[in-house]
Chains A and B, each alone.
Chain A
Protein backbone atom coordinates (compact mmCIF):
# COMPACT_ATOMS: atom_id res chain seq x y z
CA UNK A 1 0.00 0.00 0.00
CA UNK A 2 1.08 3.57 -0.59
CA UNK A 3 1.75 4.57 2.99
CA UNK A 4 4.44 6.39 4.89
CA UNK A 5 6.57 3.26 5.44
CA UNK A 6 7.49 3.46 1.73
CA UNK A 7 10.10 6.12 2.41
CA UNK A 8 12.52 5.92 -0.49
CA UNK A 9 12.94 9.37 -2.05
CA UNK A 10 10.79 11.27 0.44
CA UNK A 11 12.17 14.64 1.45
CA UNK A 12 12.01 16.73 4.59
CA UNK A 13 12.88 13.97 7.08
CA UNK A 14 16.00 15.84 8.21
CA UNK A 15 19.58 14.73 8.78
CA UNK A 16 20.53 11.25 9.96
CA UNK A 17 20.80 11.29 13.75
CA UNK A 18 23.72 9.18 14.86
CA UNK A 19 24.15 7.81 18.37
CA UNK A 20 27.65 6.94 19.53
CA UNK A 21 28.05 3.63 21.38
CA UNK A 22 24.45 2.74 20.80
CA UNK A 23 23.19 -0.22 22.86
CA UNK A 24 21.41 -3.13 21.14
CA UNK A 25 18.26 -2.29 23.10
CA UNK A 26 17.68 1.10 24.72
CA UNK A 27 15.49 -0.32 27.48
CA UNK A 28 14.66 -3.73 28.86
CA UNK A 29 11.15 -3.66 27.36
CA UNK A 30 12.53 -3.26 23.84
CA UNK A 31 14.39 -6.54 24.11
CA UNK A 32 11.31 -8.26 25.52
CA UNK A 33 9.13 -6.95 22.67
CA UNK A 34 11.70 -8.06 20.12
CA UNK A 35 11.94 -11.58 21.56
CA UNK A 36 8.20 -11.97 22.23
CA UNK A 37 7.49 -11.02 18.63
CA UNK A 38 9.86 -13.65 17.33
CA UNK A 39 8.62 -16.31 19.77
CA UNK A 40 4.98 -15.69 18.85
CA UNK A 41 5.72 -15.85 15.14
CA UNK A 42 7.15 -19.33 15.75
CA UNK A 43 3.55 -20.52 16.15
CA UNK A 44 3.23 -19.84 12.43
CA UNK A 45 -0.22 -18.32 12.71
CA UNK A 46 1.04 -15.43 10.66
CA UNK A 47 4.03 -14.80 8.40
CA UNK A 48 6.80 -12.26 8.30
CA UNK A 49 4.95 -10.63 5.41
CA UNK A 50 1.81 -10.40 7.52
CA UNK A 51 3.83 -8.75 10.27
CA UNK A 52 5.28 -6.22 7.84
CA UNK A 53 1.84 -5.35 6.54
CA UNK A 54 0.57 -4.87 10.09
CA UNK A 55 3.06 -1.99 10.43
CA UNK A 56 2.21 -0.56 7.03
CA UNK A 57 -1.48 -0.15 7.87
CA UNK A 58 -0.71 1.90 10.97
CA UNK A 59 -1.94 5.49 10.68
CA UNK A 60 1.01 7.44 9.23
CA UNK A 61 1.08 9.88 12.12
CA UNK A 62 1.45 7.01 14.60
CA UNK A 63 4.05 5.32 12.45
CA UNK A 64 6.23 8.42 12.44
CA UNK A 65 5.63 9.33 16.09
CA UNK A 66 6.34 5.91 17.61
CA UNK A 67 9.80 4.51 18.14
CA UNK A 68 10.70 1.33 16.29
CA UNK A 69 9.93 -1.05 19.16
CA UNK A 70 6.84 0.88 20.17
CA UNK A 71 5.51 0.01 16.72
CA UNK A 72 6.43 -3.62 17.37
CA UNK A 73 4.61 -3.59 20.71
CA UNK A 74 1.54 -2.04 19.14
CA UNK A 75 1.62 -4.70 16.42
CA UNK A 76 2.11 -7.56 18.86
CA UNK A 77 -0.88 -6.46 20.95
CA UNK A 78 -2.97 -6.44 17.79
CA UNK A 79 -1.73 -9.74 16.35
CA UNK A 80 -2.27 -11.80 19.51
CA UNK A 81 -5.91 -10.74 19.55
CA UNK A 82 -6.47 -10.94 15.81
CA UNK A 83 -5.08 -14.48 15.59
CA UNK A 84 -6.90 -15.73 18.67
CA UNK A 85 -4.06 -16.17 21.15
CA UNK A 86 -5.73 -13.90 23.67
CA UNK A 87 -9.10 -12.22 23.84
CA UNK A 88 -9.49 -8.47 23.95
CA UNK A 89 -10.76 -8.85 27.51
CA UNK A 90 -7.65 -10.77 28.50
CA UNK A 91 -5.43 -8.13 26.93
CA UNK A 92 -7.31 -5.41 28.82
CA UNK A 93 -7.32 -7.25 32.14
CA UNK A 94 -3.88 -8.79 31.79
CA UNK A 95 -5.16 -12.13 33.09
CA UNK A 96 -6.26 -15.33 31.38
CA UNK A 97 -10.03 -15.82 31.28
CA UNK A 98 -11.21 -18.28 33.97
CA UNK A 99 -11.03 -21.82 32.66
CA UNK A 100 -9.09 -20.90 29.52
CA UNK A 101 -6.82 -23.56 28.10
CA UNK A 102 -3.10 -23.46 28.72
CA UNK A 103 -0.83 -24.06 25.74
CA UNK A 104 2.72 -25.35 25.54
CA UNK A 105 5.21 -22.87 24.08
CA UNK A 106 6.61 -23.82 20.70
CA UNK A 107 9.60 -21.52 21.03
CA UNK A 108 11.61 -23.06 23.88
CA UNK A 109 15.25 -23.42 24.83
CA UNK A 110 15.21 -26.84 23.18
CA UNK A 111 13.80 -25.50 19.92
CA UNK A 112 15.40 -22.03 19.94
CA UNK A 113 18.14 -22.95 17.48
CA UNK A 114 15.61 -24.17 14.98
CA UNK A 115 13.52 -21.01 15.29
CA UNK A 116 16.51 -18.77 14.77
CA UNK A 117 16.10 -19.74 11.18
CA UNK A 118 13.07 -17.93 9.90
CA UNK A 119 12.14 -20.84 7.74
CA UNK A 120 12.59 -19.21 4.38
CA UNK A 121 12.36 -22.06 1.95
CA UNK A 122 15.35 -22.82 -0.19
CA UNK A 123 15.77 -20.33 -2.99
CA UNK A 124 16.52 -23.13 -5.44
CA UNK A 125 13.51 -24.66 -7.16
CA UNK A 126 13.95 -26.02 -10.69
CA UNK A 127 10.17 -26.40 -11.03
CA UNK A 128 9.72 -22.62 -11.12
CA UNK A 129 11.13 -21.19 -14.35
CA UNK A 130 12.41 -17.60 -14.46
CA UNK A 131 10.56 -15.16 -16.69
CA UNK A 132 13.63 -12.99 -17.21
CA UNK A 133 17.35 -13.44 -17.85
CA UNK A 134 20.41 -11.66 -16.56
CA UNK A 135 21.18 -8.71 -18.83
CA UNK A 136 17.58 -8.27 -19.96
CA UNK A 137 15.95 -4.81 -19.85
CA UNK A 138 12.81 -4.65 -17.72
CA UNK A 139 10.32 -2.13 -16.42
CA UNK A 140 8.86 -2.19 -12.93
CA UNK A 141 5.10 -2.34 -13.25
CA UNK A 142 3.02 0.63 -12.23
CA UNK A 143 0.87 -0.97 -9.54
CA UNK A 144 -0.78 0.60 -6.51
CA UNK A 145 -2.17 -2.27 -4.44
CA UNK A 146 -3.91 -1.52 -1.15
CA UNK A 147 -2.43 -4.72 0.27
CA UNK A 148 1.18 -5.56 1.06
CA UNK A 149 3.82 -5.07 -1.61
CA UNK A 150 7.59 -4.83 -1.69
CA UNK A 151 7.68 -2.76 -4.85
CA UNK A 152 8.49 0.77 -3.66
CA UNK A 153 6.76 3.71 -5.29
CA UNK A 154 10.00 5.31 -6.40
CA UNK A 155 10.73 2.42 -8.79
CA UNK A 156 7.28 1.93 -10.31
CA UNK A 157 7.20 2.55 -14.03
CA UNK A 158 11.00 2.84 -14.17
CA UNK A 159 13.26 0.82 -16.43
CA UNK A 160 16.34 -1.12 -15.42
CA UNK A 161 18.41 -4.19 -16.15
CA UNK A 162 18.48 -7.61 -14.51
CA UNK A 163 21.92 -8.12 -12.98
CA UNK A 164 21.39 -11.27 -10.93
CA UNK A 165 18.83 -14.05 -10.52
CA UNK A 166 18.51 -14.79 -6.80
CA UNK A 167 16.34 -17.87 -7.19
CA UNK A 168 12.79 -18.56 -6.06
CA UNK A 169 10.95 -16.92 -3.15
CA UNK A 170 7.43 -16.65 -1.79
CA UNK A 171 5.51 -13.72 -3.25
CA UNK A 172 4.88 -11.27 -0.39
CA UNK A 173 1.89 -9.57 -2.03
CA UNK A 174 -0.14 -12.77 -1.70
CA UNK A 175 1.66 -14.47 1.17
CA UNK A 176 0.97 -11.52 3.51
CA UNK A 177 -2.76 -12.07 3.05
CA UNK A 178 -2.83 -15.88 3.20
CA UNK A 179 -3.58 -15.92 -0.53
CA UNK A 180 -0.88 -18.40 -1.40
CA UNK A 181 2.88 -18.54 -1.70
CA UNK A 182 2.96 -17.94 -5.46
CA UNK A 183 6.65 -18.84 -5.57
CA UNK A 184 8.61 -17.04 -8.27
CA UNK A 185 12.06 -15.77 -9.16
CA UNK A 186 13.54 -12.70 -7.53
CA UNK A 187 16.13 -10.63 -9.37
CA UNK A 188 18.50 -7.86 -8.56
CA UNK A 189 17.48 -5.05 -10.90
CA UNK A 190 19.80 -2.11 -11.53
CA UNK A 191 18.22 1.29 -12.08
CA UNK A 192 20.39 4.25 -12.92
CA UNK A 193 20.07 7.16 -10.53
CA UNK A 194 19.04 9.33 -13.50
CA UNK A 195 16.22 6.96 -14.47
CA UNK A 196 14.87 7.17 -10.92
CA UNK A 197 15.56 10.80 -10.03
CA UNK A 198 16.16 12.71 -13.24
CA UNK A 199 19.02 14.56 -14.84
CA UNK A 200 20.24 16.19 -11.63
CA UNK A 201 21.39 12.81 -10.31
CA UNK A 202 24.94 11.58 -10.75
CA UNK A 203 25.40 9.88 -14.15
CA UNK A 204 27.47 7.14 -12.53
CA UNK A 205 25.24 6.17 -9.62
CA UNK A 206 22.64 3.43 -9.44
CA UNK A 207 20.14 1.81 -7.10
CA UNK A 208 19.61 -1.94 -7.06
CA UNK A 209 16.26 -3.36 -5.95
CA UNK A 210 15.28 -6.99 -5.50
CA UNK A 211 12.16 -7.67 -7.52
CA UNK A 212 9.83 -10.59 -7.99
CA UNK A 213 8.74 -11.73 -11.46
CA UNK A 214 5.28 -10.29 -10.95
CA UNK A 215 6.71 -6.80 -10.42
CA UNK A 216 8.37 -6.76 -13.83
CA UNK A 217 7.49 -6.46 -17.48
CA UNK A 218 9.64 -6.36 -20.60
CA UNK A 219 11.01 -2.92 -21.35
Chain B
Protein backbone atom coordinates (compact mmCIF):
# COMPACT_ATOMS: atom_id res chain seq x y z
CA UNK B 1 0.00 0.00 0.00
CA UNK B 2 1.32 3.40 -0.94
CA UNK B 3 2.45 5.76 1.74
CA UNK B 4 0.17 8.73 2.46
CA UNK B 5 2.16 11.77 1.31
CA UNK B 6 1.56 13.76 4.44
CA UNK B 7 3.02 11.28 6.85
CA UNK B 8 6.50 12.19 7.99
CA UNK B 9 8.94 9.70 9.43
CA UNK B 10 8.57 11.36 12.82
CA UNK B 11 4.88 10.91 12.72
CA UNK B 12 5.20 7.27 11.80
CA UNK B 13 7.53 6.69 14.72
CA UNK B 14 5.10 8.47 16.99
CA UNK B 15 2.25 6.35 15.73
CA UNK B 16 4.14 3.16 16.38
CA UNK B 17 4.73 4.41 19.90
CA UNK B 18 1.04 4.96 20.33
CA UNK B 19 0.29 1.48 19.13
CA UNK B 20 2.86 -0.08 21.42
CA UNK B 21 1.91 1.96 24.44
CA UNK B 22 -1.81 2.43 24.26
CA UNK B 23 -3.52 -0.58 25.66
CA UNK B 24 -7.07 -0.72 25.30
CA UNK B 25 -9.33 2.18 24.72
CA UNK B 26 -9.65 1.41 21.07
CA UNK B 27 -9.31 -2.35 21.24
CA UNK B 28 -6.72 -4.40 19.41
CA UNK B 29 -5.07 -3.03 16.29
CA UNK B 30 -4.62 -5.51 13.53
CA UNK B 31 -2.75 -5.17 10.30
CA UNK B 32 -4.89 -5.90 7.35
CA UNK B 33 -4.54 -3.10 4.89
CA UNK B 34 -4.49 -5.63 2.05
CA UNK B 35 -7.79 -7.09 3.04
CA UNK B 36 -9.98 -6.74 0.00
CA UNK B 37 -10.14 -9.91 -1.99
CA UNK B 38 -8.55 -12.09 0.66
CA UNK B 39 -10.16 -14.76 2.71
CA UNK B 40 -9.71 -14.30 6.39
CA UNK B 41 -7.98 -17.38 7.52
CA UNK B 42 -5.29 -16.53 10.03
CA UNK B 43 -2.56 -18.55 8.42
CA UNK B 44 -1.28 -16.15 5.79
CA UNK B 45 0.78 -13.01 5.86
CA UNK B 46 0.20 -12.44 9.53
CA UNK B 47 1.87 -9.20 10.51
CA UNK B 48 2.87 -8.09 13.97
CA UNK B 49 3.37 -4.49 12.88
CA UNK B 50 0.06 -2.70 12.56
CA UNK B 51 -0.65 -0.98 9.26
CA UNK B 52 -0.24 2.77 8.96
CA UNK B 53 -3.98 3.08 8.63
CA UNK B 54 -4.55 1.17 11.84
CA UNK B 55 -1.98 3.36 13.57
CA UNK B 56 -3.45 6.60 12.29
CA UNK B 57 -6.91 5.48 13.38
CA UNK B 58 -5.69 4.47 16.81
CA UNK B 59 -3.88 7.77 17.28
CA UNK B 60 -6.90 9.79 16.20
CA UNK B 61 -9.26 7.84 18.42
CA UNK B 62 -6.99 8.17 21.46
CA UNK B 63 -6.83 11.92 20.94
CA UNK B 64 -10.59 12.27 20.48
CA UNK B 65 -11.26 10.17 23.59
CA UNK B 66 -8.76 12.14 25.67
CA UNK B 67 -10.38 15.37 24.60
CA UNK B 68 -13.80 14.06 25.57
CA UNK B 69 -15.11 14.28 22.02
CA UNK B 70 -16.15 10.66 21.64
CA UNK B 71 -17.24 7.96 24.05
CA UNK B 72 -15.36 4.72 23.28
CA UNK B 73 -18.21 2.58 24.61
CA UNK B 74 -20.60 4.21 22.17
CA UNK B 75 -18.12 3.58 19.36
CA UNK B 76 -18.01 -0.11 20.31
CA UNK B 77 -21.80 -0.25 20.29
CA UNK B 78 -22.06 1.37 16.89
CA UNK B 79 -19.62 -1.14 15.39
CA UNK B 80 -21.33 -4.07 17.07
CA UNK B 81 -24.64 -2.94 15.68
CA UNK B 82 -23.40 -2.86 12.10
CA UNK B 83 -21.56 -6.16 12.47
CA UNK B 84 -24.21 -8.19 14.24
CA UNK B 85 -27.63 -6.54 14.32
CA UNK B 86 -28.14 -4.85 10.97
CA UNK B 87 -27.79 -6.75 7.73
CA UNK B 88 -29.47 -8.50 4.80
CA UNK B 89 -31.33 -10.80 7.20
CA UNK B 90 -33.57 -7.83 7.98
CA UNK B 91 -34.32 -7.18 4.33
CA UNK B 92 -34.93 -10.88 3.72
CA UNK B 93 -37.64 -10.88 6.38
CA UNK B 94 -39.29 -7.89 4.72
CA UNK B 95 -39.22 -9.63 1.33
CA UNK B 96 -40.55 -12.94 2.67
CA UNK B 97 -43.39 -11.16 4.45
CA UNK B 98 -44.31 -9.36 1.24
CA UNK B 99 -44.34 -12.68 -0.63
CA UNK B 100 -46.76 -14.35 1.77
CA UNK B 101 -48.94 -11.38 2.72
CA UNK B 102 -50.42 -9.38 -0.20
CA UNK B 103 -51.74 -6.65 2.12
CA UNK B 104 -48.25 -6.19 3.59
CA UNK B 105 -46.76 -6.09 0.10
CA UNK B 106 -49.16 -3.32 -0.87
CA UNK B 107 -48.20 -1.31 2.22
CA UNK B 108 -44.53 -1.93 1.48
CA UNK B 109 -44.79 -0.61 -2.07
CA UNK B 110 -46.98 2.35 -1.02
CA UNK B 111 -45.11 3.42 2.11
CA UNK B 112 -41.91 1.45 2.59
CA UNK B 113 -40.60 3.15 5.77
CA UNK B 114 -43.83 2.42 7.66
CA UNK B 115 -44.08 -1.16 6.41
CA UNK B 116 -40.43 -1.85 7.23
CA UNK B 117 -40.90 -0.33 10.69
CA UNK B 118 -43.72 -2.83 11.28
CA UNK B 119 -41.01 -5.50 11.43
CA UNK B 120 -38.94 -3.39 13.81
CA UNK B 121 -36.36 -1.96 11.43
CA UNK B 122 -35.97 1.76 11.03
CA UNK B 123 -33.72 4.82 11.01
CA UNK B 124 -30.25 5.51 9.68
CA UNK B 125 -30.20 5.67 5.87
CA UNK B 126 -33.64 4.10 5.87
CA UNK B 127 -35.76 7.05 6.85
CA UNK B 128 -36.90 7.45 3.29
CA UNK B 129 -37.06 3.98 1.80
CA UNK B 130 -38.57 3.09 -1.54
CA UNK B 131 -39.21 -0.53 -2.53
CA UNK B 132 -39.26 -1.40 -6.22
CA UNK B 133 -40.76 -4.68 -7.42
CA UNK B 134 -39.30 -7.11 -9.90
CA UNK B 135 -41.63 -9.11 -12.14
CA UNK B 136 -41.55 -11.23 -15.29
CA UNK B 137 -41.14 -8.13 -17.48
CA UNK B 138 -39.31 -5.70 -15.15
CA UNK B 139 -35.96 -5.99 -13.43
CA UNK B 140 -34.74 -3.31 -11.01
CA UNK B 141 -31.13 -2.53 -10.10
CA UNK B 142 -29.88 -0.20 -7.34
CA UNK B 143 -26.71 1.90 -7.50
CA UNK B 144 -25.21 5.06 -6.08
CA UNK B 145 -23.00 6.55 -8.80
CA UNK B 146 -21.90 9.52 -6.66
CA UNK B 147 -20.93 7.80 -3.41
CA UNK B 148 -22.22 4.77 -1.49
CA UNK B 149 -25.89 5.34 -0.56
CA UNK B 150 -27.45 2.05 0.50
CA UNK B 151 -30.48 0.97 2.58
CA UNK B 152 -28.67 0.32 5.87
CA UNK B 153 -31.56 -0.81 8.13
CA UNK B 154 -32.56 -3.59 5.76
CA UNK B 155 -29.20 -4.53 4.19
CA UNK B 156 -26.50 -3.28 6.58
CA UNK B 157 -23.38 -1.60 5.22
CA UNK B 158 -22.69 -2.05 1.50
CA UNK B 159 -20.13 -4.55 0.22
CA UNK B 160 -16.92 -3.25 -1.37
CA UNK B 161 -18.04 -4.06 -4.92
CA UNK B 162 -21.13 -1.86 -4.52
CA UNK B 163 -18.91 1.10 -3.56
CA UNK B 164 -16.31 0.36 -6.22
CA UNK B 165 -15.59 2.30 -9.41
CA UNK B 166 -16.52 -0.56 -11.76
CA UNK B 167 -20.01 -0.98 -10.34
CA UNK B 168 -20.72 2.72 -9.87
CA UNK B 169 -19.55 3.62 -13.36
CA UNK B 170 -21.17 0.79 -15.29
CA UNK B 171 -24.50 0.08 -13.57
CA UNK B 172 -26.14 3.05 -15.31
CA UNK B 173 -24.59 2.76 -18.79
CA UNK B 174 -24.29 -1.03 -19.05
CA UNK B 175 -26.65 -2.62 -16.52
CA UNK B 176 -27.12 -5.76 -18.58
CA UNK B 177 -23.37 -6.26 -18.83
CA UNK B 178 -23.00 -5.86 -15.07
CA UNK B 179 -25.85 -8.29 -14.47
CA UNK B 180 -24.21 -10.80 -16.79
CA UNK B 181 -21.07 -10.69 -14.65
CA UNK B 182 -23.25 -11.72 -11.73
CA UNK B 183 -24.65 -14.57 -13.79
CA UNK B 184 -27.98 -12.82 -14.31
CA UNK B 185 -29.04 -13.08 -17.93
CA UNK B 186 -32.15 -11.11 -18.87
CA UNK B 187 -34.22 -11.53 -22.01
CA UNK B 188 -34.20 -8.57 -24.39
CA UNK B 189 -37.90 -7.94 -23.78
CA UNK B 190 -37.38 -7.47 -20.03
CA UNK B 191 -37.25 -3.82 -19.01
CA UNK B 192 -34.26 -2.92 -16.83
CA UNK B 193 -34.89 -0.04 -14.44
CA UNK B 194 -31.80 1.34 -12.75
CA UNK B 195 -32.26 3.48 -9.64
CA UNK B 196 -29.40 5.89 -8.99
CA UNK B 197 -29.60 6.96 -5.32
CA UNK B 198 -28.78 10.62 -5.86
CA UNK B 199 -30.86 12.00 -2.95
CA UNK B 200 -31.88 10.78 0.52
CA UNK B 201 -34.18 8.08 -0.83
CA UNK B 202 -32.90 4.55 -0.26
CA UNK B 203 -33.98 1.75 -2.54
CA UNK B 204 -34.64 -1.93 -1.96
CA UNK B 205 -35.54 -4.42 -4.69
CA UNK B 206 -38.43 -6.76 -3.98
CA UNK B 207 -37.26 -9.79 -5.97
CA UNK B 208 -39.53 -12.27 -7.69
CA UNK B 209 -40.56 -15.23 -5.58
CA UNK B 210 -39.01 -18.28 -7.23
CA UNK B 211 -41.30 -20.94 -8.67
CA UNK B 212 -41.57 -24.17 -6.72
CA UNK B 213 -41.64 -22.48 -3.31
CA UNK B 214 -45.39 -22.62 -2.67
CA UNK B 215 -44.97 -25.04 0.22
CA UNK B 216 -42.29 -23.05 2.04
CA UNK B 217 -42.94 -21.14 5.25
CA UNK B 218 -42.21 -17.44 5.58
CA UNK B 219 -39.07 -18.29 7.50
CA UNK B 220 -37.91 -20.76 4.86
CA UNK B 221 -38.56 -18.18 2.18
CA UNK B 222 -36.53 -15.56 4.07
CA UNK B 223 -33.60 -17.98 4.05
CA UNK B 224 -33.63 -17.93 0.24
CA UNK B 225 -33.44 -14.15 -0.07
CA UNK B 226 -29.93 -12.79 -0.61
CA UNK B 227 -28.41 -9.34 -0.32
CA UNK B 228 -27.49 -9.46 -3.99
CA UNK B 229 -31.11 -10.13 -4.98
CA UNK B 230 -32.27 -7.15 -2.93
CA UNK B 231 -29.74 -4.90 -4.72
CA UNK B 232 -30.96 -6.41 -7.98
CA UNK B 233 -27.77 -8.01 -9.29
CA UNK B 234 -29.09 -11.55 -8.92
CA UNK B 235 -32.40 -13.36 -8.72
CA UNK B 236 -33.61 -15.43 -5.79
CA UNK B 237 -33.05 -19.13 -6.34
CA UNK B 238 -35.49 -21.80 -5.13
CA UNK B 239 -32.86 -23.42 -2.92
CA UNK B 240 -30.74 -21.74 -0.22
CA UNK B 241 -27.52 -20.14 -1.42
CA UNK B 242 -25.62 -21.45 1.57
CA UNK B 243 -25.97 -18.41 3.76
CA UNK B 244 -25.75 -14.69 3.31
CA UNK B 245 -25.37 -12.71 1.24
Contact = CB atoms under 8 A, between A and B. Distances in A.
Interface of A: 5-11, 13-19, 21-29, 31-36, 38-40, 43, 52, 55, 64-65, 67-70, 73-74, 76-77, 80, 85-86, 90-96, 100, 102-105, 107-109, 111-112, 116-118, 120, 123, 150-152, 154, 164, 166, 169, 186, 188, 193, 196-197, 202, 204-212
B11 A24 contact: no
B68 A6 contact: no
Contacts of A94: 14-15, 18, 59, 62-63
Contact of B195 (A80, A96, A208): A208
B201 A166 contact: yes
Given A25-B83, A65-B2, A103-B69, A166 B172 contact: no
Interface in B163-218: 163-173, 175-176, 178, 181-182, 188-201
A208 B193 contact: yes
Contacts of A166: 128, 130, 199, 201
Given A96-B63, A116-B124, A205-B191, 20 more contacts: A9-B172, A19-B160, A22-B160, A26-B36, A36-B61, A67-B33, A70-B53, A73-B56, A86-B64, A94-B18, A95-B63, A107-B71, A150-B146, A152-B146, A154-B145, A154-B172, A166-B199, A188-B201, A205-B175, A212-B199
B159 A22 contact: yes
Name the residue in B200, B201, B243 with the highest tally of chain A Cβ atoms < 10 Å from its Cβ.
Answer: B200
14 contacts: A16-B166, A16-B182, A27-B32, A33-B57, A52-B147, A85-B67, A94-B63, A96-B66, A96-B67, A116-B81, A118-B125, A166-B130, A205-B191, A207-B194
B30 A109 contact: no
B28 interface: yes
Interface string B38-76: 011000000000010110111111111011111101111
Contacts, number: 285
Contacts of B61: 32, 36
A11 B127 CA distance: 33
Interface residues of B, number: 96
A27 B200 contact: no
B173 A208 contact: no
A32 B145 CA distance: 25
Nearest to B87: A24
Given A36-B61, A68-B148, A86-B64, A24 B56 contact: no
B78 A38 contact: yes
Contacts of B28: 28
